[in-house]
A and B are shown apart, each in its own frame.
Chain A
Amino acid sequence: EPEVTQTPSHQVTQMGQEVILRCVPISNHLYFYWYRQILGQKVEFLVSFYNNEISEKSEIFDDQFSVERPDGSNFTLKIRSTKLEDSAMYFCASSGGGERPDTQYFGPGTRLTVL
């Protein structure tokens, strides 16, 4: 069964540095998402992406964040200048294909640690 994949699994960075988190959504899906989960808390929506543009974003997704689909397979989340409070697990998800178009399938996550 196809799965969403993410790299790296763990990223450690210094405050103020830029990070890029990478995702490969399921190949026939149309909609792509980023969520984050601070340790011990709920999963929070960041952004959705469709037809090469952002379709919806949350208050968390400020000017420090950007998303891109640089080619036909990858979907990236960039944080320009990381803050301590950006430390979290970041999940990519995709939906919009096959028998279950509503269902969002999650990747394994990237644990971002900002020091």
Chain B
Amino acid sequence: GENVEQHPSTLSVQEGDSAVIKCTYSDSASNYFPWYKQELGKRPQLIIDIRSNVGEKKDQRIAVTLNKTAKHFSLHITETQPEDSAVYFCAATIPFSGGYNKLIFGAGTRLAVHP
């Protein structure tokens, strides 16, 4: 069935270090992979996304890589700051012919960045 596995569930780093979160998806039809950051009690906010025709995308301190063959994608945060502390969710879309899609979320990674 449709599933996205996400690891690790918790990640603790020192300010300035890098953080890597990894996800694996099951449906080979998935073609769009967004990452959301969710602060406590707030809405999921899109931070970066990648489409299946691209292997890597970078936006300042955040980068995402995609390996379609292995059905893996990863989030990389460099030079972490305390304000990066949040829960990060990966997601994979199941596209439909009508133009809409369905997001399948991973279980989330709680990132703590310590000053």
How many residues does chain A have at the interface if contact means C-beta atoms less than 8 Å apart? 27
Instruction: Tell me the A1-55 residues at the B interface (CB within 8 Å).
Output: 30-31, 33, 35, 41-45, 48, 50-51, 55
Chain B residues within an 8 Å CB radius of A75: none
Complex Cα distance A42/B49, Å? 18
Contact for B93 among A42, A44, A102, CB less than 8 A: A102
Instruction: Tell me the B57-115 residues at the A interface (CB within 8 Å).
Output: 89, 91, 93, 96, 98-108
Q: Say whether, besides A91-B43, A108-B43, A101 and B99 are in contact (CB < 8 Å).
A: yes
Complex Cα distance A4/B98, Å? 22
Q: B20 → chain A, closest Cβ, in Å? A: 19
Q: Is the CB of B100 within 8 A of A95?
A: yes
Chain B residues within an 8 Å CB radius of A33: 102-103
Q: Is the CB of B89 within 8 A of A42?
A: yes
Interface string of A96-109 (1 = CB under 8 A from B): 10000111111111
Q: Is the CB of B103 within 8 A of A45?
A: yes
Complex Cα distance A35/B36, Å? 14
Q: Is the CB of B44 within 8 A of A91?
A: yes
Complex Cα distance A55/B94, Å? 13
Q: A39 → chain B, closest Cβ, in Å? A: 11
Q: B106 → chain A, closest Cβ, in Å? A: 7
Select from chain A the residue with minimum beta-carbon distance to B108. Answer: A42
Q: Is the CB of B89 within 8 A of A30?
A: no
Contact for A103 among B46, B99, B105, CB less than 8 A: B46
Complex Cα distance A30/B99, Å? 9
Complex Cα distance A109/B89, Å? 16
Can you give 29 contacting A-B residue pairs, CB < 8 Å? A30-B99, A30-B100, A31-B99, A33-B102, A33-B103, A35-B103, A41-B107, A42-B89, A42-B105, A42-B108, A43-B105, A45-B103, A48-B100, A48-B102, A50-B99, A50-B100, A51-B98, A55-B96, A55-B98, A91-B43, A91-B44, A96-B99, A96-B100, A102-B93, A103-B46, A103-B49, A108-B42, A108-B43, A109-B43
Mark B residues whose CB is within 8 Å of A: 32, 34, 36, 42-46, 49, 51, 89, 91, 93, 96, 98-108
